[in-house]
Structure 1
Amino acid sequence: MQKKTVNLYLDDLRDCPEDFVIARTVEEAIYYLENYDINILSLDHDLGEDENGNLLPTGYDLVKYMCENGLRASKVYIHTDNPPGRINMYETLLGARRRGFIDSDIYNCPFVKNKYSEE
């Protein structure tokens, strides 16, 4: 049975772009990566804190999980505003592609402009 194809946007705060599904946590993103074919994956790095103030797993944690478990997206875009997080995700993805763990096209830029709802 062929899986449904979706575009996946991992971010805890930004608005979900049109034609994407949103994952607010790494766990939600893993669900989509394991159960759907992902065309475009757009990654944020920092995904907030839990109720005790502990940092939640980051986009970088997702990248490492993808590489370790052979999960893929056709195209990966990095939309985070965190410069060290961006570099870590980008370099890890490039290294994984060189080693044959993934075969995604990788872009060190947003696919769409970052947008926040006004509250």
Structure 2
Amino acid sequence: MNLYVDDLRDCPEGFVLARSYSEAVAYINKEEIHVLSLDHDLGEDDAGKELPNGYDLVKYMCEQGLRADKIYLHTDNPVGRKNMYETLLAAQRRGFIEADIEIYHYPITANKYSGQ
């Protein structure tokens, strides 16, 4: 399956949508992921506190040795993108995730937001 993790953007054709960290974790733990497309910022709770984000998901995947065949970072957050990208590359070098995972610091699809 192809998984698109984003709290606001429209889900591209050919992807399953996870709107939160917990939804993404559930899919990654039970499904074989071919393409994973990640946003960094995944919203705030009612008190304005940042919810677990794409970087938290990257760290979880690295800690658990989970994989997706290809990982794309579609976030508009430049610091978040760098943190996710560098963490994934470092995890590969250290053997925490498999060396054959393809990691891209750019999106695979155009980011779209219709507000629906």
For normalisation by structure 2, the TM-score amounts to 0.95
Q: What letter is aligned with 1:102?
A: I
Mark the runs of 5 or more structure 1 residues left unpaired by the alignment.
Answer: 1-5
Q: 1:105 aligns with which of 86, 90, 102?
A: 102
The answer on 1:70 being equivalent to 2:65 is yes
Shift of 1:65: 0.4
Offset at 1:26? 0.6
- Sequence identity percentage: 66
Counterpart in the other structure of 2:111: 114
Which stretches of structure 1, 4 residues or longer, exceed 3 Å deviation after superposition?
A: none
User: For residues 50 and 118 of structure 1, what CA distance do their matches in structure 2 show?
Assistant: 19
Matches within 5 A, 1:19-34: 19-34=14-29
Question: How far did 1:23 drift?
Answer: 0.5
Q: CA deviation at 1:32?
A: 0.5
What is the aligned-residue RMSD (CA, Å)? 0.9
Matched ranges for 1:79-98 at <5 A: 79-98=74-93
Counterpart AA for 1:116 = Y
TM-score, normalised relative to structure 1: 0.93
